[in-house]
Amino acid sequence: MTKENRPNPPRDFHEHLAALESAGLLVKIDRPVNKDTQLQPLVRWQFIGGIPEDERRAFMFTNVVDSKGKRYDMPVVLGALASSPRIYAMGMGRSVEEIGPAWMDAIANPVPPVVVSKGVCQEIVMTGDELTREGGGLACLPVPVSTPGYDAAPYLTATLCVTRDPDSGVQNTGMYRAALKAKDRLVVRMVARPGGAGGWVHWQKYRARNERMPISIALGAAPVVVFTSPQKLGIDVDEYGVAGAVAGAPVEMVKCLTNDLLVPANSEIIIEGYIEPDVLEPEAPFGESNGYVALEAFNMPMQVTAITMRKNAVFSAIISQVTPSESSVIKKVAYEPQFLAHLKHALGIKGIKRVVLHEPLTNLRPVIFLQFEYGAPQTEIWRALQGASTLLTAFGKVVIAVSDDVDPASVDAVLWSMAYRCNPKEDVVIFPYRGGGQGSQYGERKTDSALLIDATRKRPMAPLALPRKEFMEDALKLWNELGLPTVKAPSPWHGYELGNWGDDWSEFARNAVNGDWEVNGLQTIKRQRRGLDAETTVRSVEK
């Protein structure tokens, strides 16, 4: 797709929803759905129920109720940002293949945001007593419970949490969870460790000054703006400049009403407030994306000073917790090209073809698969294994290299490669003293180690023992004609050669499928030998 005929990314969340609906990617649910018990579990089924990735949809709930019988006028939308790479790509205004290069170019060539005098996000304003009245403040928002049965509160999930460095004045935006505690109080969880969240770094500076930290949370901005939030950009990088480069136009920002932060003017909802420098409050339990429930920890209470929104606002949330999820798709489609670019261009690795961050259950970070051209130098493979393990904090606890006949997105194929192409004594290395992984703040261990495995093909091997492609395709055609249940084609699904094969064996195979197996027997009887042990390879004798 050329730049001239590429569609522009949606300018706001409403435009994005309209595009999804037009493409048949938005499911509207008009019957009553309980936000506290049903809403998130319903959408989660499309991630754990075996639905193919490209068939996942966004969901809009127009008749939202809670467990106390309250009905909300505001619709709730889940899955509209990244239920699948296809949906993510629509929010980017690009094909899936163009997403990685688009991020790299935008980071290198940001377009600074512009400040406007007003935005739709401030059409309705709640301050003062409106924040604490019955049904007011945060209680008027249909915030779902993400992990019913374990979460301690409804949580904001698809957040743009905006803070500002008190020294440099540069804003930072992060996607942090925020628990509802009162009509005018949240508790925000920011990654509190070296290399952690930009907001946490800012809070450390405010705490040293003994000053409260301004914070504003935007919900439902244009997808290109939201996508910058989990990008792991540098703390001194203004995410809105990167978003503007992707959008092809500056992001319009508006000043908050009760603090001096700038927020996306086209957002659905803005929550403004402050975090004190010396007060923390228990937060969680909450289902985490590492696959476990995060237990109670002290985090940052946010006193809400204003809630503003557009007149026809929708509430945007994401499916997170156990992966695959919307949260992991948002990261995966951007991180994989980032890792590949780092290995191929920054480190100059020869033979690297693909990087796959394993998604189901492990949430991308710990397990990384690298795919290499067959014959890539072993020194390059090991440089890449180490490079992938050290690029980002908490990424690459286990890094496995495979050859290009193995699909790195298929764990079964990777395990097959490990089982038959890896000698643990020679091909496995453990590196100590790496940073703790995600969730380490809830445990006692603060450091971890990395397991690097070279499971590439190191010599010619016999073919994969499945029927050749043409026979599997013919059989699949017959399967479908018989009306049998729909089947998937896992990788690998047909046989292929791996270097250790000869024309004589190909002739044997042709004779077998043609019913001429006796011809093969007439050929081999001439080659009978005496005085050999059974299982002696023919090639070792008939050189």
- Angle in degrees, CA 279, 283, 289, rounded to 5: 135
Q: What is the pLDDT of residues 84-94, one digit of tens each?
A: 999 999 999 99
Confidence of residue 5 (pLDDT cuts 50, 70, 90): low
Q: How far apart are CA 427 and CA 356, in angstroms?
A: 20
Residue 339 inside a domain? The answer is no
Are residues 385 and 514 both part of a single domain? no
Q: What is the pLDDT of residues 141-182, one digit of tens each?
A: 999 999 999 999 999 999 999 999 999 999 999 999 999 999
Are residues 97 and 59 both part of a single domain? yes
Are residues 145 and 265 both part of a single domain? yes
Higher pLDDT, 208 or 434: 208
Residue 271 inside a domain? The answer is yes
pLDDT score recorded for residue 444 = 59
If you average pLDDT over every residue of the chain, what do you get?
Answer: 92
Q: Is the peptide bond before 492 cis (omega within 30 degrees of 0)?
A: yes
Query: Tokens 């319903």 label which residue?
Result: 42
Are residues 449 and 476 both part of a single domain? no
Q: State which H helix or E strand residue 275 sits in.
A: strand 269-275
* Cβ atoms within 10 Å, residue 500: 12
Are residues 192 and 277 both part of a single domain? yes
Residue 461 inside a domain? The answer is no
DSSP-derived letter for residue 193 is: S
Confidence of residue 514 (pLDDT cuts 50, 70, 90): very high
Are residues 52 and 98 both part of a single domain? yes
Q: How far apart are CA 14 and CA 313, in angstroms?
A: 9
Confidence of residue 536 (pLDDT cuts 50, 70, 90): very high
Instruction: Look up residue 63 and give its amino acid.
Output: N
Q: Which domain holds residue 130?
A: 13-317
Side-chain-facing half-sphere of 35: CA atoms under 13 Å: 31
Q: Count how many domains the chain has.
A: 3
CA-based R_g, the chain, Å: 27
Q: How far apart are CA 265 and CA 255, in angstroms?
A: 9
Distance between first and last Cα of the chain:
54
Task: Find residue 346's DSSP bridge partners.
Answer: none
Q: How far apart are CA 67 and CA 60, in angstroms?
A: 19
Q: Among the listed ranges 82-91, 276-285, 446-455, which one has the minimum average pLDDT value? A: 446-455
- What CATH number corresponds to the domain at position 353? 3.40.1670.10
The yes-or-no verdict on residue 440 having pLDDT over 50 is: no
Are residues 357 and 503 both part of a single domain? no
The yes-or-no verdict on residue 348 having pLDDT over 80 is: yes
pLDDT score recorded for residue 195 = 62
Are residues 473 and 450 both part of a single domain? no
* Cβ atoms within 10 Å, residue 522: 9
- Using H for helix, E for strand and C for coil, what is the string for 218-239? EECCCHHHHHHCCCCCCCCCCH
Confidence of residue 259 (pLDDT cuts 50, 70, 90): very high
Average of per-residue pLDDT across 487-511: 92
159 and 219 in contact (C-beta within 8 Å)?
A: yes
pLDDT score recorded for residue 441 = 47
Residue 329 inside a domain? The answer is no
The distance of Cα 378 from the centroid of its chain, to the nearest Å, equals 30
The yes-or-no verdict on residue 219 having pLDDT over 90 is: yes
Last residue of one domain, picked from the residues 424, 454, 484: 454
The yes-or-no verdict on residue 193 having pLDDT over 70 is: no
Average of per-residue pLDDT across 475-484: 93
Residue 445 inside a domain? The answer is yes
Are residues 473 and 537 both part of a single domain? yes
Average of per-residue pLDDT across 499-505: 93
Task: Find the DSSP H helices in 50-128.
Answer: 85-92, 96-108
Are residues 291 and 403 both part of a single domain? no
Structure tokens at 295: 């237990």
Tell me the helices (H) and strands (E) count for the chain, helix number first: 15, 27
Structure tokens at 37: 């018990």
Residue 423 inside a domain? The answer is yes
Instruction: Look up residue 13 and give its amino acid.
Output: F
The yes-or-no verdict on residue 343 having pLDDT over 60 is: yes
Query: Tokens 């081999």 label which residue?
Result: 524
Residue 340 inside a domain? The answer is no
Are residues 389 and 416 both part of a single domain? yes
Last residue of one domain, picked from the residues 317, 338, 369: 317
Among positive and negative, which fits the CA dihedral 523, 529, 534, 537?
Answer: negative
Task: Find residue 468's DSSP bridge partners.
Answer: 495
Q: Among the listed ranges 289-293, 379-383, 458-462, which one has the minimum average pLDDT value? A: 289-293
Residue 520 inside a domain? The answer is yes
Q: Among the listed ranges 143-157, 315-329, 512-526, which one has the minimum average pLDDT value? A: 315-329
Are residues 280 and 369 both part of a single domain? no
Q: How far apart are CA 531 and CA 50, in angstroms?
A: 56
The yes-or-no verdict on residue 331 having pLDDT over 70 is: yes
The yes-or-no verdict on residue 436 having pLDDT over 80 is: no
The distance of Cα 537 from the centroid of its chain, to the nearest Å, equals 48
285 and 294 in contact (C-beta within 8 Å)?
A: yes
- What CATH number corresponds to the domain at position 54? 2.30.110.10
